[in-house]
Amino acid sequence: MKKIPFYLVTGFLGSGKTTLIKQFIGRYADSKKIAIIQNEYAEVNIDSRELKQTGKSFELLEMNNGSVFCVCLLGSFVHSLADFIHQHQPDQVILEASGLSDPITISQIISSSALGNLIWLAHSYTIVDALNFQKTIERVGRNTHQIRVADTIVLNKCDLAVKLLSEIRSKLLIINPFAKIVETSYCKIEFLQDSVFHLPISLIGKNQNESAGRPDVGSAVIKCTKAVSAENLDHFIRKYSLITYRIKGYVDTVNGPVAVHTSFEHIEIKPVPDNPYHTEVVIIGPEIDQKVLQLEFENLCNQN
């Protein structure tokens, strides 16, 4: 069996990974059989719905409740991916890593006995949120590892951080001077198919070449069949956007369903035409308590 090109897409929560992959699907799904692995730190994957809304044909493998680069999932992921490839025989494989992943151990996946003869690492993309770059670098060390393994750094949301771009570019080049930096908005880039991957080992160093392990953050999935008022939803989202990394999902309000997306203090709440799943929201951040969040949201729904 000929080795299949494997594309790695990393980037912190809310940086634009799913947007990039949607464009990849739109460009190549009609001519190639694409397999996508979506890795979600939480137990529920919200982003897979966005990919399915493209209307394009692709195979999907979901790996939830942890990072595939962490010891807790690494072994099972390798075997699951090998079985997935044997079953579907794709032309290309794309891994959308969890925003909290530490991909320094990507070599262990590529060189494993189960996958070594099946895939080769064609290109690694890391999405950097220009607007929140400084926050992610300061708060989450694994974001530096994501930048280090990149062939192409997609500096996204440049339209929102024009004055910061020169400083960000300089810092990115210190972390990884070998990567190509593409400045863009909405992840609109030209894809570099089948290019050779070069891991900048000289920059990583002995100690930095070790995985940071499972990140010290929590996740919660809020589910509810009752509608919430727009005012109560706004209160809930604004309160927790200040102390979490990301909130994303769909919510039934008394005025109709909405999509919710936050990245730090940046909040987007938009009406959607239909939401057959009722309320289902993923929240990721430090010291997350599933029971407390669920109870608080249910109480807000009961106040209508």
**Do 4-208 and 218-301 come out as alike in CATH topology?**
no
Range with the largest mean pLDDT of 85-89, 134-138, 254-258: 85-89
**Exposed/middle/buried for residue 170 (C-beta within 10 Å: 0-12, 13-18, 19+):** exposed
| Look-up of token digits 């064609």 | 122
CATH no. of 218-301? 3.30.1220.10
pLDDT, mean of residues 148-162: 93
The model carries a pTM of 0.74
Cα–Cα distance between 73 and 69 in angstroms, integer? 7
Closest to 8 measured CA to CA, from 110, 143, 116: 110
Residue type, 149: V
Cβ–Cβ < 8 Å for 224, 304: no
pLDDT score of 158 more than 70: yes
Domain 4-208 CATH class label? alpha beta
| Look-up of token digits 């930048």 | 147
In the chain, the percentage of residues whose pLDDT exceeds 90 is 42
pLDDT, mean of residues 139-164: 89
- Residue 184 corresponds to which tokens in the numbers above? 């863009």
Given this model, what pLDDT does residue 207 score? 44
For the chain, the structural domain boundaries read 4-208, 218-301
- pLDDT tens digits, 105-147: 787 788 788 998 899 888 889 999 999 999 888 776 778 889 9
DSSP 3-state assignment of 13? coil
> Which segment of 100-114, 194-208, 252-266, 281-295 scores lowest on mean pLDDT?
194-208
